[in-house]
Amino acid sequence: NAGVTQTPKFQVLKTGQSMTLQCAQDMNHNSMYWYRQDPGMGLRLIYYSASEGTTDKGEVPNGYNVSRLNKREFSLRLESAAPSQTSVYFCASSERLALNNEQFFGPGTRLTVL
């Protein structure tokens, strides 16, 4: 099993460009998450999907959209990238939304917005 996979691993954008970060999991998990990690801030939840067909905002959703394409895939879209969105983005999944469930993380996408 690959676990949680993310593409791309690295990306450089110019301000105003758009892009979609892809995430897939092969563990048959119901819940999926997108986080960003910035120095001195810890991981912060952007959006999550409790189950296929549902999505909800996390702590820092502004400037992002998500799509839960099917049970396996959860994508994150930046419509008009800004330098403040320079960060490392992690996708995660868990068996269900219960807060005592372990979350499994993908390897991350390092995004720089110039």
Partner 1 sequence: RKEVEQDPGPFNVPEGATVAFNCTYSNSASQSFFWYRQDCRKEPKLLMSVYSSGNEDGRFTAQLNRASQYISLLIRDSKLSDSATYLCVVNRAGANNLFFGTGTRLTVIP
Residue matched to tokens 């917005």: 113
- The residue among 90 and 113 lying less far from partner 1, judged by its C-beta, is 90
Query: What minimum distance in Å lies between the beta carbon of 43 and partner 1?
Result: 4
Q: What is the DSSP letter of 71?
A: S
Query: What minimum distance in Å lies between the beta carbon of 99 and partner 1?
Result: 4
Q: Dihedral (C-alpha) 85, 109, 101, 96: value to the nearest 10 degrees?
A: 90
Residues 1-40 that bind partner 1 (CB under 8 A): 33, 35, 40
Distance of CA 3 to the CA centre of its chain: 15
- Say if CB 58 and CB 76 are below 8 A apart: no
Cross-strand pairs, 11: 111
Q: Does 50 bind partner 1 (CB under 8 A)?
A: yes
Query: What minimum distance in Å lies between the beta carbon of 42 and partner 1?
Result: 4
Contacts with partner 1 by CB under 8 A lie at 33, 35, 40-45, 48, 50, 56, 58-59, 90, 97, 99-100, 102-103, 105-108
